[in-house]
Structure 1
Amino acid sequence: MANVLSKKFLLSFLLICLVLSPPQARAVITCDTVFNDLKPCLNYVLVGGNVPAECCNGLKSLIVKAITTADRQSICSCLKSLATTATDEQVDRAASLPGKCGVKVPFKISRDVDCTKVK
């Protein structure tokens, strides 16, 4: 009888823990989202010139959407992946966008950023 009660108690305890524990955060933002929001920045990153207002609006929109750590890490990973195929000048222009747009991005835009450390 005591064995049955302890099993029921353990099962009840585990069920309560599952219900009360916060869910694992999964990224909602995909690389498609990143590309679509930052598409207006493409010409600036590729060849330079003036940063279009639509680019800054897209960057601001993307950062506002990044409500979880997983979202921010996903954005970082997408940008890092794109940076691996870009020239140094293109990476430098991309990295300058937050400053030019007045947007705080929670990671450095570079090939070397460790996206797992983005919070």
Structure 2
Amino acid sequence: MARGAILVSKVAVAMVFYCLVVTTPRAVEGVLTCEQVISDLAPCATYLINGGTVSTDCCSGVKSLNSAATTTDDRQAVCKCTEQTATTLPGMNLDNIRSLPSKCGLDIAFDINLNTDCSKVNI
């Protein structure tokens, strides 16, 4: 996989999971960095672009990010990171992004939307 495709995949994963983190409160100190978000979601890149089977590593990263984003600041940081990254990298499949939470056993009670206003993301 080319370096650009890997980066695109990481961004796509980050977008999906920003939505996951927006609704599930947890407890952690500090604000998550964009590097942390991308790192947790990187294993999901192939699924987000091509579909198919979601890997165990992908779901572990999704669940880890969901657990780490414990404050409003964390959730807004995840949102901003994913939006910034996603707008610069093509190739993501919105249907794959929307299906990822349930494929990883998470019940998300909202529609994943790439146009979310990050400043309105709360715990």
TM bucket by the smaller chain?
0.5 to 0.7
Residue in 1 that maps onto 2:120? 117
Over the residues paired in the alignment, what is the CA RMSD in angstroms? 2.3
Instruction: Report the Cα offset of residue 90 of structure 1.
Output: 1.9
Where structure 1 has 5 or more consecutive residues not aligned to the other structure, the ranges are 1-25
Give the superposition deviation at 1:48.
1.3
C-alpha spacing 1:109/1:82, structure 2 compared with 1 (3 Å): farther
Give 1:115 deviation, angstroms. 1.1
Percent identity between the two aligned chains = 44
- 1:28-107 matches, within 5 Å, as 28-84=31-87, 85-87=89-91, 90-104=93-107
Return the letter of the residue paired with 1:86: P
User: What is the DSSP-based 3-state SS (H/G/I as helix, E as strand, rest coil) of the residue aligned with 1:76?
Assistant: helix
On the 8 A contact 1:28/1:71 being kept in 2, the answer is: yes
Deviations 1:7-27 (A, max 9, x none): xxxxxxxxxxxxxxxxxxx95
Q: Look up the equivalent residue of 1:33 and give its one-letter code.
A: Q
* Per-residue deviation, residues 86-113 of structure 1 (Å, max 9, x unmatched): 34x5233122211211225587543211
Greater C-alpha radius of gyration = 1
Relative to structure 1, the CA distance from residue 107 to residue 116 in structure 2 (aligned partners, 3 Å threshold; closer, same or farther) is farther
Inter-partner Cα distance in structure 2 for 1:106 and 1:118:
14
Distance in structure 1 (CA, Å) of the matches to 2:121 and 2:110: 6
C-alpha spacing 1:104/1:65, structure 2 compared with 1 (3 Å): farther
Aligned residues: 93
Secondary structure class of the residue paired with 1:28: coil
The 2-side partners of 1:70 and 1:106 are apart by 20
Gaps of 5+ in 2: 1-28
> What is the Cα deviation at residue 82 of structure 1?
2.9
